[in-house]
Amino acid sequence: MKSRILNIVGARPNFMKMAPLMRQFATRRDRFDARLVHTGQHYDAQMSDVFFDELGLPKPDIHLGVGSGTHAVQTGKIMVEFEKVVETEKPDLVIVVGDVNSTMACSIVAAKAWVPVAHVEAGLRSFDRRMPEEINRVVTDALSSYLFLTEEDARENLRREGVSDDKVFFVGNVMIDTLLHLLPKAQKLDTLQRFGLRKGEFALVTLHRPSNVDQREPFAGILGALETIQREIDVLFPIHPRSVARLKEFGLYDRVTGWPRLKLTEPLGYLDFMNLMSQSKLVLTDSGGLQEETTVLGIPCLTLRENTERPITIHEGTNLLLGTDPKRIETEAKKILTGHAKKGRVPKFWDGKAAERIVEILAKKL
């Protein structure tokens, strides 16, 4: 018998994680009826449709179309709409990835309907419950029947929370599956030429966390560090329109756009961004996924947060956790620019075969 599986995506990071799973399920159509459900948490073309095209994801079988809203409104809308889907589709399993609102909302609905949940990227913890993602991770893991780990440290986190070892499987990192699958294609693009950059001679910046961009003081501090860094090296900053609005609100926009070696640009597609990241001198970010991708690429990463749910990128990879102190950011960037970057290695099972391991486990267990 085929097992019917509903695979949930909702926000941009989910797409990269789900793409390799959908490819693997497509090779096992004799065993799985795998359907893609898009909650619509990210709903505009730049944040969603373009990623489906670039990643080779099939068009969603079901689109909930929930759109934006507060955390409570968005989570509630997803639960209401996904409950109807579960009643109609009667799945044998619901697969969720990562830590966005769609992940938690669909897990709650499935668990209450007695449908097993599989969480891909389980057990990661920042130990900061002020972060919405941390709440989503903890709740999802508590409800899941299958917990697939990117790193062994996550197993200890789950044990402390009372999760039985027989539910836990160390499989590797599906985000890296996508990176390795698409990197050759990305590196054929002319992205550097379009931005007037040269390989190894620019820094790449991403900032999106509310704690960094929604308050003037931390945002201005980070920008002050970028002002110093751009005196030494070109800096490309793909910036979300929401953050541009904050720059203008805080009276910082004219100042930033006047720096000669810093370039603001609109958010980029996955392939263009991957091309840039793989050829940069360093990355400054508050993203979770970029900490992992830079580790595999061997690119120095400065994480502008007080904590990280991905400690393996620090212990084994190229990542440094700096917080938002401008002087510390400037100091560590200068070390990299003068040839004293941290060296790292690729963690176990970050080899492009994580999705293959997951599907093989499910074929045996379901």
Burial class of residue 359, CB neighbours in 10 A (0-12, 13-18, 19+): buried
Parallel/antiparallel/unpaired status of strands 282-285 and 301-303: parallel
Q: Considering only CA atoms, which of 111, 61, 58 is closest in space to residue 89?
A: 61
Torsion, Cα of 283, 289, 291, 293 (10° steps): -80
Is the CB of residue 78 less than 8 Å from the CB of residue 42? Answer: no
b/e map 59-92, b = 16+ CB within 10 Å: ebebebebeeeeeeebbebbbebbbebbeebebb
Distance between CA atoms of residues 143 and 131, nearest Å = 19
Residue 53's φ and ψ, nearest 5 degrees, are: -65, -50
Catalytic entry in 71, 119, 181, 208: 208
Torsion, Cα of 316, 319, 323, 326 (10° steps): 140
Which pair of structure tokens corresponds to residue 62? 């079901």
Is the CB of residue 34 less than 8 Å from the CB of residue 25? Answer: yes
**Residue 71 annotated among the catalytic residues of the structure:** no
At 301, the amino acid letter reads C
> Residue 346 carries which DSSP code?
P
Which residues are catalytic, by number? 208
